[in-house]
């Protein structure tokens, strides 16, 4: 699949090469926008009826424009994962490995915390359909971590797999032990994690 195409373009691919009618494209654009919001709020279990309702179209229009619900969800998640990988590529271009890693980590955890569907997809939902995207993302996270570790910005005993689990853990649920998380709890979690990833430095001698 061409990673440069948007979700809308992927859904409008026509083997004949014909351009879709303007009204068809508008409906697909509305469905994609509605699906992105619904996936964030509801998760990958959202129904075609719910997406159609949010897009302001009938379910008949949904199925005239979209081959199947899973096709739409895969296209939307592909697009979002492409955006995450673009952020990782930008981070890898940062001359400061720690600054690049930290910036990516913040964007990645924010997205996991704010989008129920993305968090589910990164946790294994739709894994078969997103297998290549997930493999590509693993590779980028590995490069970011190993680059920062080689520069001694991250502890030498920390693996990229450790970091993958830690970043997932930072995107906390809304409640634990009866305590309600604040809106920015994920930022506090991430800062504790980032502090813990840094190499320990010997304490300054007393006196």
Q: Which two tokens stand for residue 109?
A: 């955890």
pLDDT for the residue 151:
95
In a domain, 148, yes or no: yes
In a domain, 22, yes or no: yes
List beta partners, residue 180: 175
Query: 58 and 110: one domain?
Result: no
In a domain, 205, yes or no: no
In a domain, 202, yes or no: no
Query: 38 and 93: one domain?
Result: no
pLDDT for the residue 32:
94
Query: 67 and 86: one domain?
Result: no
**What CA–CA distance (Å, rounded) separates 103 from 95?**
13
Total number of domains constituting the chain: 2
Query: 185 and 86: one domain?
Result: yes
Q: What is the pLDDT of residues 66-89, one digit of tens each?
A: 889 999 999 999 889 999 999 999
**What CA–CA distance (Å, rounded) separates 78 from 74?**
6
Query: 56 and 154: one domain?
Result: no
| Segment 168-188 mean pLDDT | 85
In a domain, 101, yes or no: yes
Q: What is the CATH number of the domain that holds 86?
A: 1.10.357.10
pLDDT for the residue 47:
95
Contact indicator for 77, 122 with CB cutoff of 8 Å: no
Question: Is residue 105 pLDDT above 80, yes or no?
Answer: yes
| Segment 79-107 mean pLDDT | 95
Question: Is residue 23 pLDDT above 60, yes or no?
Answer: yes
pLDDT for the residue 19:
63
Query: 60 and 156: one domain?
Result: no
The reported pTM is 0.83
Query: 47 and 66: one domain?
Result: yes
Q: Domain range spanning residue 38?
A: 7-71
Query: 89 and 188: one domain?
Result: yes
- Categorize the per-residue pLDDT at 1 as very low, low, confident or very high, splitting at 50, 70 and 90: very low
Query: 99 and 185: one domain?
Result: yes
**What CA–CA distance (Å, rounded) separates 97 from 85?**
16
- Categorize the per-residue pLDDT at 93 as very low, low, confident or very high, splitting at 50, 70 and 90: very high
Exposure string over 17-47, b if 16+ CB within 10 A, otherwise e: eeebeeeebebbbbbbbbbbbbbbeebbebe
Query: 118 and 149: one domain?
Result: yes
In a domain, 207, yes or no: no
- Categorize the per-residue pLDDT at 201 as very low, low, confident or very high, splitting at 50, 70 and 90: low
pLDDT for the residue 16:
44
**What CA–CA distance (Å, rounded) separates 143 from 180?**
35
The residue among 71, 88, 115 that closes a domain is 71
- Categorize the per-residue pLDDT at 18 as very low, low, confident or very high, splitting at 50, 70 and 90: low
pLDDT for the residue 20:
61
The residue among 31, 52, 71 that closes a domain is 71
In a domain, 25, yes or no: yes
Question: Is residue 13 pLDDT above 90, yes or no?
Answer: no
Query: 89 and 182: one domain?
Result: yes
In a domain, 1, yes or no: no
pLDDT for the residue 17:
55
Query: 107 and 57: one domain?
Result: no
């Amino acid at each position: 699949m061409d990673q440069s195409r948007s979700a809308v373009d992927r859904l409008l691919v026509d083997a004949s090469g014909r351009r879709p009618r303007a009204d068809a494209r508008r409906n697909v654009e509305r469905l994609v926008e509605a699906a992105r919001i619904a996936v964030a709020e509801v998760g990958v279990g959202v129904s075609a009826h719910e997406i159609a309702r949010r897009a302001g179209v009938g379910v008949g229009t949904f199925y005239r424009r979209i081959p199947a619900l899973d096709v739409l969800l895969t296209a939307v998640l592909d697009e979002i994962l492409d955006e995450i990988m673009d952020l990782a590529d930008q981070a890898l271009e940062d001359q400061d490995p720690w600054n690049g890693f930290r910036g990516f980590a913040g964007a990645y955890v924010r997205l996991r915390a704010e989008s129920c569907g993305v968090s589910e997809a990164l946790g294994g939902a739709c894994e078969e359909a997103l297998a290549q995207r997930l493999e590509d993302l693993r590779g980028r996270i590995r490069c970011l971590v190993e680059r920062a570790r080689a520069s001694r910005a991250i502890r030498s005993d920390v693996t990229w797999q450790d970091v993958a689990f830690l970043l997932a853990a930072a995107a906390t649920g809304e409640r634990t032990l009866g305590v309600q998380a604040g809106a920015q709890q994920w930022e506090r979690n991430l800062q504790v994690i980032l502090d813990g990833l840094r190499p320990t430095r010997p304490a300054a001698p007393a006196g």
